[in-house]
Amino acid sequence: MTKEIPESFHSLIAEVEKIFSENRKISKLFENCFLNTYQTTLKQLHDGTTFVVTGDIPAMWLRDSALQVRPYLMVASKDEQIRGLIKGVIKRQFYYILEDPYANAFNQNPNGMGHQTDETDMSPIVWERKYEIDSLCFPIQLAYFYWQETEDFSIFDSTFDSVLKTIIEIWRVEQRHGEQSSYRFLRRNGNSTDTLTNDGKGADTDWTGMTWSGFRPSDDACLYGYHIPSNMFAVVVLRYATEIAERMGDLGLAKECDSLATEIRDGIEHFGTIEHPLHGRVYVYETNGKGNYVLMDDANVPSLLSAPYLGYCDWDNETYLNTRQLILSRENPYYYEGKQAKGIGSPHTPDHYIWHIALSVQGMTSRSPEERNQLLEYLINTDGGMGYMHEGFNADNSCEFTRKWFAWSNSMFSEFVLSLTGNVIKSSPLNKKSN
């Protein structure tokens, strides 16, 4: 049965259609993409929570689910139904984190689906147990944005208190992964990027103040344990958590959040930067604290490109601008230029495949109207004739693409288009962007 579209959605769609009246393809593509998550991926459960499939995979990713519903925050204050759906997503995310804070994707029920043969502490509720810092960041960000949009502080109850304390404990342990962590992950029947080296422990790291991650937001294994974009995101959400804990009256918890954020940020700025011979001081993508690092960026968020979108730095931060120049060039091994577009791809997809998510993020982090317009043209002309965004597409032929049903990508495009119309989440850094 087709879901009835809320009036609040119709209003946004009509506004976009009016602003882009001279280009019907933009408004039609926006309508398709904006409604995709609502029409195809959300399931309200009897316990009041909302289960969100990522698209063509029948599991709920903590990262994807937060970003899939993110554009809907813009109507949450005036639409009770949407407010309830988003609150249900947050509660479902909290439930999953308390079930297993090291897992990235979950089943709706403990049905044993997913990667149950992986060598790690799997359980039937877990679809995949790849530990990624951002999986713990996105639920905090979504809850904070929800509160700011709706003024509903009730989401921060005893369950949230347990979730936040669990996250802090994990991030503290993973500051000294080699000495203190019990986390292991081995997948013997997949690609090399689907498993960790060193008998599942991952490559050795030294203390930096940052917190360790087994996998990137792409679900590919980290080469070195300190993933800089994810640590940037951790700093941002810990600042949110500090504000929330203060409002809750737990000054000790607020102090702990603030202290950990400072340690991680100091680690990023000291160990996560280098002096590049052409670009000056830039952020690296990963490091191990031993002097090794990776210079690149990946399309998945959090990424280096997304740093101001996440709220880690200002839009005109010199180190960020230097980094942006590097990663949007062929010095980034996953930056591609083709007949139909140029942009950032990922080792997760074939060579020469650009990601729509990366194009949307590039647009939302650009201060140039010309660049934003060019990126919008790339996006609307590379849907492969399907009327939706995808994961990656061949830069020379967008009819060759991966994942025709990828709701996260649709939502990112929707947010980019909405930002061009002046519609942004109140507490999003996009609302503070100087154009």
Q: Model confidence over 218-266: pLDDT tens digits?
A: 999 999 999 999 999 999 999 999 999 999 999 999 999 999 999 999 9
At 359-401, the pLDDT tens digits run 999 999 999 999 999 999 999 999 999 999 999 999 999 999 9
Q: Output the pTM of the full model.
A: 0.97
| Identity at 299, one-letter amino acid code | A
Contact in structure between 388 and 33 (CB atoms under 8 Å): yes
Q: What is the dihedral of CA 419, 422, 425, 429, to 10 degrees?
A: 70
* Cβ count near 280 (within 10 Å): 15
The band of 431, judged by pLDDT with boundaries at 50, 70 and 90, is: confident
**CA atoms within 13 Å, Cβ hemisphere of 375:** 26
Q: Given a cut of 90, is residue 190 above it in pLDDT?
A: no
Cα separation, 129 vs 116, in Å, equals 9
Instruction: Give pLDDT tens digits for 88-142.
Output: 999 999 999 999 999 999 999 999 999 999 999 999 999 999 999 999 999 999 9
Mean pLDDT (the chain) is: 97
Distance, in Å, from the CA atom of 109 to the CA atom of 45, rounded to the nearest integer, reads 11
Residue 72 DSSP label: G
DSSP 3-state of 77: coil
pLDDT band at 144 (very low <50, low <70, confident <90, very high): very high
Which pLDDT value is given to residue 435? 41
Quote the distance between the C-alpha of residue 141 and its chain's center. 10
Residue 147 host element (H or E): helix 133-150
